[in-house]
C-alpha cells in the first residue's frame, strides 16, 4: 500500500452515473495501481481508518477507495449540496495529516494468479486493460469473481454498486467486449448485486 505523505492536498469532486455517489479525486495515489477497497458498511472498515471516519457522517452509506480517489455513496434522503463540502473537507484534512487511507500490505499481485487457467488470465487481462480504467473514471471498480461454463462473474464496486446504469454497462459494454474478444465467454453476470 502506498503511504500518504505530508504534502499539499488538492481534492476535486466529480459526479458519476450513480446520482447517490460522488467521487473525490486527489492529486496523488491513494491505493496501489489496479487495487480497490470497497466498504459497504462500518463493520467492513477494519483496514481503513479513513473509511471508518467517513461512516461517522450519518448520510454516508458506502465508501470506496481506489487509485487516486474516494467514492462516497450517500443515503437517498440527503442531497449532495447539503453534505459534499463537509465530506470533501474531512478527506482533505485526513490526507493533509499524512495518514494512509488504507492499511494493507500486498504480498503478491492481487490481479494475477499463476494457478489461473489461460482463459481466466485472458479475461483478467481484458478487464484490467480495457474495462477497469473506464469504470474507475466513473468512481467504481470491476473485479473478476469466477469463470465457469462460459459465464464470467464479476463484482461491481464503488459507484457501480447500486447504479441504475450498471446493468447497461455490464451487458452492452463488458459482455459485448469479452464475448467478441474471447469466444469461450458466452455471458457476463454481476455477482452479489
Residue 136 lies in a domain: yes
Residue 101 lies in a domain: no
Rounded to whole angstroms, how far apart are CA atoms 23 and 137? 9
HSE (CB half, 13 Å, CA atoms) of 125? Answer: 9
94-135 tens-digit pLDDT: 999 989 999 977 666 666 677 888 888 888 888 888 787 777
CATH number, domain at 73? 3.30.1370.70
Query: 147 and 86 in one domain?
Result: no
Q: What is the pLDDT of residue 177?
A: 84
Q: What is the pLDDT of residue 32?
A: 83
Q: What is the pLDDT of residue 21?
A: 92
Is the predicted pLDDT of residue 3 greater than 60, yes or no? no
Residue 23, domain extent: 11-96
Residue 161 lies in a domain: yes
Residue 102 lies in a domain: no
136-190 tens-digit pLDDT: 777 777 778 889 998 888 877 766 666 666 666 666 678 888 888 889 989 888 8
Residue 86 lies in a domain: yes
22-70 tens-digit pLDDT: 999 999 989 887 788 999 999 999 999 999 999 999 999 999 998 899 9
Q: What is the pLDDT of residue 155?
A: 79
Q: What's the structural domain count of the chain?
A: 2
Residue 112 lies in a domain: no
Q: What is the mean pLDDT of residues 83-95?
A: 96
Query: 135 and 174 in one domain?
Result: yes
Q: What is the pLDDT of residue 115?
A: 80
Burial class (CB in 10 A: 0-12, 13-18, 19+), 37: buried
Q: What is the pLDDT of residue 126?
A: 83
Is the predicted pLDDT of residue 4 greater than 50, yes or no? no
Q: What is the pLDDT of residue 161?
A: 67
CATH number, domain at 134? 3.30.300.130
Query: 130 and 171 in one domain?
Result: yes
pLDDT confidence band for 77 (50 / 70 / 90): very high
Amino acid at each position: 500500500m502506498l503511504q500518504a505523505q505530508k504534502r499539499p492536498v488538492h481534492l476535486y469532486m466529480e459526479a458519476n452515473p450513480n446520482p447517490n455517489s460522488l467521487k473525490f479525486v486527489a492529486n496523488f495515489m491513494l491505493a496501489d495501481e489496479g487495487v480497490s477497497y470497497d466498504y459497504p458498511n462500518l463493520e467492513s472498515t477494519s483496514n481503513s481508518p479513513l473509511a471508518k471516519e467517513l461512516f461517522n457522517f450519518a448520510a454516508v452509506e458506502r465508501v470506496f477507495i481506489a487509485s487516486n480517489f474516494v467514492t462516497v455513496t450517500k443515503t437517498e434522503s440527503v442531497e449532495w449540496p447539503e453534505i459534499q463540502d463537509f465530506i470533501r473537507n474531512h478527506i482533505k484534512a485526513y490526507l493533509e495529516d499524512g495518514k494512509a487511507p488504507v492499511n494493507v500490505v500486498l504480498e503478491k499481485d492481487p490481479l494475477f494468479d499463476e494457478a489461473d487457467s489461460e482463459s481466466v488470465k485472458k479475461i483478467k487481462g481484458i478487464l484490467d486493460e480495457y474495462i477497469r480504467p473506464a469504470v474507475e473514471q466513473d468512481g467504481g471498480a470491476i473485479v473478476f469473481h469466477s469463470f465457469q461454463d462460459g459465464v464470467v462473474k464479476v463484482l461491481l464496486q464503488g459507484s457501480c454498486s447500486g447504479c441504475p446504469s450498471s446493468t447497461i454497462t455490464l451487458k452492452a459494454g463488458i459482455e459485448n467486449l469479452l464475448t467478441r474478444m474471447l469466444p469461450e465467454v458466452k455471458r457476463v453476470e454481476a455477482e452479489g448485486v
